[in-house]
Amino acid sequence: MSTDNENNSGKFKILVGVLSILLIALAVYTVTLFNDNKSKISTLETQKADIEEELEGLIANYDKVIKENELKDKDLLEARDRISVLLDSVKDAKANLGLIERYKIEIDRLKRERSLMFKRADSLIAVNQRLMQQRDSTTLELENTRILADSVSQENMAMSETLKRASIVRATGLRGEAVIIRRNGKVVDTKRSSRADKIRACFTLAANDIATKGDRTLYIQVINPKNNILGEKALEQFEEKDLYYSATTNVFYENEELDVCILVSAAEEDLIKGSYVINLFDAGKQIGTTTMELR
């Protein structure tokens, strides 16, 4: 009986020893498995962070190209938006091996797509630059043409003004004198205001090859010492001014010298002692002036 008890006790001890070893082995395995799993999770998290960083880098690449070159290309914008959506998805997902592998494959595809997109963008940029250069060149040519046109216009205006001034027929030798009209029609000069009947203005229209040939109306204006206009005291309106005149005469000008005299009637009370001013006008433009004295 004692022998059986001893055998049973020995077996129990052996069983306890085996169980202890198994428990120790299990504990070691569990700890090792936990550490391995923890290491794998850390590695997956690191890889997930790397993927997020790569996606952010891709987005930054697209933003830089779009901003620097002011591109509004629809495909570039859509590609950038797709990457932004993928980045949000990666951030929200838990790291696991299948996820990491799938995103790595997707990033490789996105990088290839980026290369193609940027090559296309480079082509668009080159086209835009050529268009800008052409536009700048066209703008410069238009500006040069405008400047040239303005210069030609100014030259034409200056030439037109020069021709206009040059085409004016000038009067030379303008002189005024008081005259007595005899009963027989004879005209006699006088210096005495009390004896004068009319004022006579004589002058010569100078030759001018570029002046307009044909009929001309000339206006004479005689102003006495009291600043009163003698003669008709009529009004003629021109674009530049109103002209009050004493008398007119019509002549036919043939671009050659032409001697002209005009008689101005005057009331007796207007013919007074002093200095008279005589002005000559052609179509509203003054072409001569002189003075005369009466005693």
Dihedral, CA of residue 131, residue 134, residue 138 and residue 141, to nearest 10: 160
Q: What pLDDT shows up at residue 71?
A: 58
Q: Which residue has the higher pLDDT, 280 or 28?
A: 280
Most confident of 54-63, 126-135, 156-165: 54-63
Q: Is the pLDDT of residue 150 over 70?
A: no
Please write the tens of the pLDDT for every residue from 168-184.
Answer: 888 899 999 999 988 88
Identify which has the larger pLDDT, 201 or 154. 201
Which of 51-55, 85-89, 125-129, 279-283 has the highest average model confidence (pLDDT)? 279-283
Q: Are 48 and 92 contacting, i.e. CB atoms less than 8 angstroms apart?
A: no
| ∠ Cα 65 67 68 (to 5°) | 70
- Domain extent listing, the chain: 2-126, 171-294
SS3 54: helix
Q: What is the pLDDT of residues 81-137, one digit of tens each?
A: 777 877 777 776 666 666 667 766 777 777 777 777 667 766 666 656 676 777 777
- The confidence score (pLDDT) of residue 162 equals 46
Which of 101-105, 157-161, 209-213, 267-271 has the weakest average pLDDT? Answer: 157-161
DSSP 143-167: HHHHHHHHHHHHHHHHHHHHHHHHT
User: Residue 284: is it exposed, middle or buried by C-beta count within 10 angstroms (0-12/13-18/19+)?
Assistant: middle
Compute CA 211 distance to the chain's CA centroid, rounded to the nearest angstrom. 42
User: 66-91, pLDDT tens digit by residue?
Assistant: 676 665 666 677 777 777 877 777 77
CB 278 within 8 A of CB 264: no
Write down the pLDDT at residue 116. 72
Give per-residue burial for 45-67: e unless 16+ CB within 10 Å, then b.
eebbeebbebbeebbebbeebbe
The arithmetic mean of pLDDT across residues 233-248, rounded, is 88
pLDDT in tens, 223-240: 999 999 999 999 998 877
Which CATH number is 171-294 given?
2.60.40.10
Residue 142: what pLDDT? 72
